[in-house]
Structure formats: C-alpha cells, structure tokens
Structure 1
Amino acid sequence: MAGPVLTTSTVPLPRRPPGPDAPDARLRHWYENDLGWPTVPGRPLRLRTGVLFDVLDVPAEAGARVLRLLAPGSPVALRGDRMELLLAAGGAEEVPGVLEWLEWGAVRLDLRLLGAGGTVRAPARPAGAVTSGRAGTVQGAAVWLRPPEPGRGVEASLPAMPAVGRAGGVPDLVRLLDTVAAHCHRVRLRRSGAGPADSGRNQPLAFS
C-alpha cells in the first residue's frame, strides 16, 4: 500500500521582526557608507570628531543667531537646548586662542568643544530636512537642523581659520566665533539677570 504523498507547503513562514540592532545598523550604514563619516563601535552610535570635523556646542538661542554665517552645506544639529555647529577638523584647538585674541578670553562663555580623540552621539537620520523652529529631542538624542547630504563632502563647507588659497565661500572661523561669543554672553546675562554693570568680563573663560 502506497504511503501518503508529501507536498511542499506554499504557506510563507512568519516574518521575524527586526532585531533591536536594526535601527542602529541602518543608521551606522548611512553615516559610514552614504556619508563616509567615521563612527565608534558600540551603542549608542557615536561619531568620531577631529577626523572630518570638530564640534562647537553652544546654547541653541545663541547658535540660531549665527546660522546665516554658515555655508548652505554646513550641517548643524540640535540637542535639546544646545546646538552643535561643525567646524573644520583642527578648529577646536584654535578656538581658545581666537577668543583670547578677540578679547573674549576674560568672559565666561557657555561653549563646549570636541576635537581630536573625541566623540559625539550621532543624530538620527532625518526623514526630511528640518528648516526652522526648535525641534524636540528624546532622551538626549540630537536631530539635524541642517542635515548632511550624501555625496557632498562636508569638509569644504565648514568654518576654518583664514588661509591663502581657501575657497571664498568658506565661513571664516574668526568672524563666526566673535558673533557666537557675543550672543552667548547676551544669553548668559539675560538668564542670570545681570545688567550692563555686571558684564562678567572679569570672569575667566569657561569651556564646560
């Protein structure tokens, strides 16, 4: 007697939900393969600073005042009430000296710098460009106010020290820092309730 006939089932197997690493893997692929930005192994995903760019972290209120000084292709991230401005690699080392030269060295400014050997948490890949307003963040994650564009080298658009032979459209780091410092100082005075007589110019420069 012939046995039962076995047939191959055509019912598809249930799809497995993406693993917990899937979003991070996609984000890492975007940064490393689409943008060519170096990342750091592990979670949460972090970007290396001092390779393609440095980061100048300022109060968002002050940062918003200097966006017009940046080149159109210069990425800017928003993290809560802080704004992260990208500088040309090596720029972080120049900032303290430039501020001293601009006579801001005696003023306490709410600036943070990330350069060679540093890392910054990677902003999420934008679903669409954010062009204005204050974007919300979740658990300290940043969002791109001006997202980077794949296929467009970021280095050429970042603020740098003036140098012979640099493209005319590259923002001047000295001018940018002078404007940033002025607005950071105004933000600090307003938050502290200090008046013109208490300008804070007798206090040391502080990078936190």
Structure 2
Amino acid sequence: MAGPRPAVAAEPALIPPPRRPSDPHGPLRRWYGTVLGWAALLTPPGPAPRLCLGVRFDVLDVPAEAGRAALRHLSPGSPVAARGGRMQLLVAAGSAAEVPGVLDWLEWGALPLDLAVLGAAAHMEAPLPPGQGLAVQGAAVWMRPPEPGGEVEASLPTLSALGGGGGAPDLVRVLDTVATHCHRLRLRRGCARPAVGP
C-alpha cells in the first residue's frame, strides 16, 4: 500500500491587477483644472464633465439671438459658450444674486423673460476646449473660449464696472441688452401665433 502522495505546490495564478477604468474625459477635465484652474467634475453617470459655478464665474443663459446682441458689450476676452439655441455668457461670480435686482431697477423684472442666471451650487456643461476634437451634436461649444493663463475673471461683466475705471464690462448694459432682445423675441413669437376665434 502506497503512502500519501506529497503535496505539489500549486503554481501561483498569473492574474493581472485590476485596471482602473479609463476616463474618456480626463484630458478635458485636466484642461479645465490645470490650464484654466477651473473646478470641473464628472456627474455620474453624466456624459460630459460639468463646470462648477459661483466660484470663478456665474452664467447668464439666454436665447442665442439675445446673446449675440450682448456680445458688443463684452470684452474680447469674455468667454461665451453655446448649446442648442442658447448662449451662456460668463459673468462675474456673485452676479446671480444681483441680476433680479438689476432687472427690477431696469424695469424688466415684472415681465417674463427667457433668461436664467446660474450661480453658486449650479453647474454648466463643460464645452470642448479649442482644438481637442469634434464636439458631439447638441453638446456645448465655446464661441469665445477662455484664454489659458489669462485672468478670465477680469474680463467678465460685473456691477463694479459702474463706477470703476476697470476694464470689466458693465453688467447693467449686458442685462439691459439681453432683456430687450428676450422681450422682442417673446413679442415676435406672440405675433406669429394664429388668432383664436370666439
């Protein structure tokens, strides 16, 4: 009768260590975070990174026609994004809290205007940086991209431009122009509807 066979040492299995999932938006988030110093985050399961608002800038979201009219009041270095038929005008951080009062002062506050201002705790889709591939249809794009290494905040519309000698555009002029064009669009849409009979 043969004795028990000696145990054979099992060869260690060659199992690769787990791989970290690739981040398809890594270059985009690095551009915003490293080159511009802006906070960007990936919203699960979000298809695109989003930019945090209220820290470096707020956003005035308006119809594209109203946004184009406001471009003449913005400095050349003021970033402007577009998405669908809308434009996002970057304004100084804290402007979101000021806009309703300014619209009231300009006597636009009582009218329904197709504009929104987004500030602290809000986000916007991060447009693709210039020269980094083709944007997906319907995705946000830069019409006027931010300049790397530049101080974007110094070029954004702000209320402090009213009495100061700084180079920042005047938020009041931008809002008045945008509100005027939003109202005109609303009137045109109202006139285009067929009259309802009795």
Name the amino acid aligned to 1:37. W
CA shift for structure 1 position 192: 2.2
Displacement after TM superposition at 1:41 (Å): 3.7
Greater Cα offset, 138-147 or 72-81: 138-147
Residue 82 of structure 2, aligned match among 71, 78, 83: 78
Q: What is the rounded CA distance, in whole Å, between the counterparts of 2:162 and 2:98 in structure 1?
A: 17
Counterpart amino acid of residue 78 in structure 1: A
Pair member with larger Rg: 2
Per-residue deviation, 1:167:
4.3
**TM-score, normalised relative to structure 2:** 0.79
Partner of 1:26: 27
For residues 125-175 of structure 1, give each alpha carbon's deviation from its aligned partner in whole angstroms, at most 9, with x where no partner exists.
1228xxxxxxx9735311100001100011000000036884432111111
Aligned-partner SS, 1:193: helix
Measured at CA, do residues 121 and 166 of structure 1 come closer, stay the same or move farther in structure 2, by a change above 3 Å? same
Identity of aligned residues (%): 62
- Tell me the TM-score normalized by structure 1: 0.75
Contact 2:127/2:140 (CA < 8 Å) preserved in 1? yes
AA aligned to 2:56 is L
**Partners of 1:168 and 1:30 in 2: how far apart?**
28
Deviation string for 1:4-29 (max 9, x for gaps)? xxxxxxxxxxxxxxx7623x000000
Name the SS of the counterpart of 1:162 in structure 2.
helix
Instruction: Please say if 1:88 is aligned against 2:88.
Output: no
Letter in structure 2 aligned against 1:30: W
- Superposed counterparts of 1:24-63, under 5 Å: 24-42=25-43, 43=46, 44-63=48-67
Aligned partner of residue 138 in structure 1, secondary structure: coil
Q: Can you give the 5+ residue segments of structure 1 that lack an aligned partner in the other structure?
A: 1-18, 129-135, 196-208
CA distance in 2, matches of 1:141, 1:54: 19
Whole-Å separation in 2 of the counterparts to 1:164 and 1:148: 24
AA of the residue aligned to 1:181: A
Amino acid at match of 1:125: P
